[in-house]
């Protein structure tokens, strides 16, 4: 029978060999930070091109990620981080962090193919006494009901005898990966209190914030709840925005004044919610009640509200075009921003994708620009030239400094629809643009 205390000492001495499985937005910075903290880290990926880039010290993440490229170059040079496609390389590893994607399907059911595949691959290589930590976001109950039985089955080892298990969900977001990793508190969910303590010692090397011990179900619930909270709050802000438009008010002014009232934290409305996490984590939380006699109303309603915001942008567009006497059919529409987040290259669940699909359905001709996505980058004014309207979907820095007079001069018709409150109606008006913005009424 193995003893977690032995491993705990190895972690404290940085003698534990670490593996990070899945070198995406989360796994790559985690692996690099542990390597920088002095651990020997092996990163495992299934995408060969990613492995090659990382081993050459080049970050595969194209978005603005302060410090990551330099950190990666440094830890690859020291030899403390190495990426591989081969699970055989993990045979002598003491701690395995799992950072693979955990999406939901079109019925909003969790899809754990990547996680299942990792657990299977670990079966023949997991060292006796290793600690497996899931960092991916999973539905409440997944560690106990899926990860534990699969690990026991594939490894032939028993929990707390042949291996230890925990979950420490990540709280990062693209654009702030390193900052969030080091400054945001984490929940260290262990299958035993001793496992949580070993995890706390480990994360203490990279996290300068609270590390709270908990059981696994609590850690799973906390992570999915925090993202569902955000989705519900954004949906509320979006619904208020729709009311402000209808009532002839300005949601931005309303929000500012509402938030002066104690205990009010109204979120930002906008053109939609995207990314790998916020659109699916509420469904992961909801899945925690799956098969039980619980009726969920708010979480599904919030998802619906947020999913309809890109379509609402089209309503605003049609309305503004009508004001200048142009139907949407055959109109050439410049769409600014294809990532889901400002200054990011992450296009997963991008609201712009829904907008563009609907524009095509309605017979319009979208012309996409995004400075962070090679397929759509280039000169923004060249892209806008000859279009009938601009629809701003993402508040990339480049768009915040756009010269509106020049924008108007290259457009065929003077229409600007702003989904992120980058410009005010007054700024647009000053150069003669017909303006519509989410949450802003017009006459």
Ligand X SMILES: NC(=O)c1ccc[n+]([C@@H]2O[C@H](COP(=O)([O-])OP(=O)(O)OC[C@H]3O[C@@H](n4cnc5c(N)ncnc54)[C@H](O)[C@@H]3O)[C@@H](O)[C@H]2O)c1
CB of 21 to ligand X, least distance (A): 5
Q: Which is nearer to ligand X, 17 or 276 (CB)?
A: 276
Which segments within 172-248 are labelled E, that is strand? Answer: 186-190, 211-214
Using CB under 6 A as the binding rule, whether residue 419 contacts ligand X is answered as no
| Residue 277 known to be catalytic | yes
Using CB under 6 A as the binding rule, whether residue 181 contacts ligand X is answered as no
Stretch binding ligand X (CB under 6 A), from 93-101, 184-192, 245-253, 312-320:
93-101
The DSSP bridge partners found for residue 65 are none
- Six-digit token pair at 27? 């796994």
Catalytic residue among 53, 127, 157, 223: 223
Using CB under 6 A as the binding rule, whether residue 122 contacts ligand X is answered as no
Stretch binding ligand X (CB under 6 A), from 32-40, 44-52, 148-156, 354-362:
44-52
Using CB under 6 A as the binding rule, whether residue 189 contacts ligand X is answered as no
Of residues 170, 245, 318, 345, which one binds ligand X by CB under 6 A? Answer: 170
Q: Which helix (H) or strand (E) segment is 323 a member of?
A: helix 298-323
Catalytic residue among 168, 216, 244, 277: 277
Of residues 99, 245, 370, 418, which one binds ligand X by CB under 6 A? Answer: 99
Torsion 51-80-10-183 (CA) sign: negative
Using CB under 6 A as the binding rule, whether residue 22 contacts ligand X is answered as yes
CB of 117 to ligand X, least distance (A): 4
Closest C-alpha among 62, 64, 61, 1 to residue 31: 61
Max distance between CA atoms of the chain, in angstroms, equals: 78
CB of 99 to ligand X, least distance (A): 5
- Say which residue the tokens 């000053």 belong to: 430
N residues, the chain: 443
Alpha-carbon distance 40 to 70, whole Å? 18
Please list every residue from 59 through 88 that binds ligand X, using CB under 6 A. none
Alpha-carbon distance 243 to 250, whole Å? 10
| Backbone phi, psi, residue 341, to 5° | -140, 150
* Residues designated catalytic: 223, 277
**Residue ranges binding ligand X (CB under 6 A):** 21-27, 44-47, 50, 99-102, 114, 117-118, 136-137, 170-174, 276-277
């Amino acid at each position: 029978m193995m003893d977690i205390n032995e491993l705990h000492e190895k972690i404290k001495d940085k003698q534990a060999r670490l593996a990070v499985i899945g070198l995406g937005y989360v796994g790559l910075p985690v692996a690099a930070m542990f390597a920088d903290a002095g651990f020997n880290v092996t990163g495992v990926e299934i995408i060969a091109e990613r492995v090659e880039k990382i081993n050459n010290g080049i970050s595969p993440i194209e978005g603005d990620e302060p410090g990551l490229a330099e950190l990666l170059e440094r830890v690859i040079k020291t030899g403390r981080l190495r990426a591989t496609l081969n699970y055989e390389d993990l045979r002598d590893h003491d701690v395995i962090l799992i950072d693979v994607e955990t999406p939901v399907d079109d019925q909003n059911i969790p899809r754990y193919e990547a996680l299942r595949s990792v657990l299977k691959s670990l079966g023949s290589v997991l060292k006796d006494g290793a600690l497996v930590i899931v960092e991916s976001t999973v539905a409440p109950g997944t560690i106990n009901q899926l990860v534990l039985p699969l690990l026991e089955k594939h490894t032939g080892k028993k929990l707390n005898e042949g291996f230890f298990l925990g979950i420490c969900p990540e709280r990062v977001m693209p654009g702030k990966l390193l900052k969030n990793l080091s400054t945001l508190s984490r929940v260290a969910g262990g299958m035993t209190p001793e496992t949580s303590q070993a995890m706390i010692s480990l994360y203490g090397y990279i996290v300068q914030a609270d590390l709270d011990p908990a059981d696994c179900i609590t850690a799973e619930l906390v992570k999915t709840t925090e993202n569902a909270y955000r989705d519900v709050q954004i949906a509320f802000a979006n619904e208020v925005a729709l009311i402000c438009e209808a009532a002839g008010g300005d949601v931005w002014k309303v929000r500012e004044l509402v938030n002066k009232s104690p205990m009010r934290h109204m979120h930002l409305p906008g053109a939609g919610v995207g990314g790998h996490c916020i659109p699916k984590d509420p469904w992961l939380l909801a899945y925690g009640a799956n098969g039980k006699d619980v009726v969920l109303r708010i979480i599904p309603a919030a998802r619906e509200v947020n999913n309809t915001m890109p379509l609402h942008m089209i309503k605003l567009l049609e309305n503004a075009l009508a004001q200048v006497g142009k139907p949407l059919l055959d109109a050439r529409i410049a769409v600014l921003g294809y990532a889901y987040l400002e200054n990011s290259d992450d296009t997963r669940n991008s609201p712009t994708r829904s907008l563009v699909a609907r524009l095509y359905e309605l017979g319009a001709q979208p012309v996409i620009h995004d400075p962070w996505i090679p397929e759509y980058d280039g000169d923004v004014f060249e892209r806008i030239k000859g279009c009938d309207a601009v629809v701003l979907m993402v508040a990339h820095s480049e768009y915040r400094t756009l010269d509106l007079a020049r924008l108007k001069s290259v457009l065929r018709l003077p229409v600007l629809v702003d989904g992120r409150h980058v410009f005010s109606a007054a700024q647009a008006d000053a150069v003669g643009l017909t303006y519509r913005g989410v949450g802003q009424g017009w006459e």
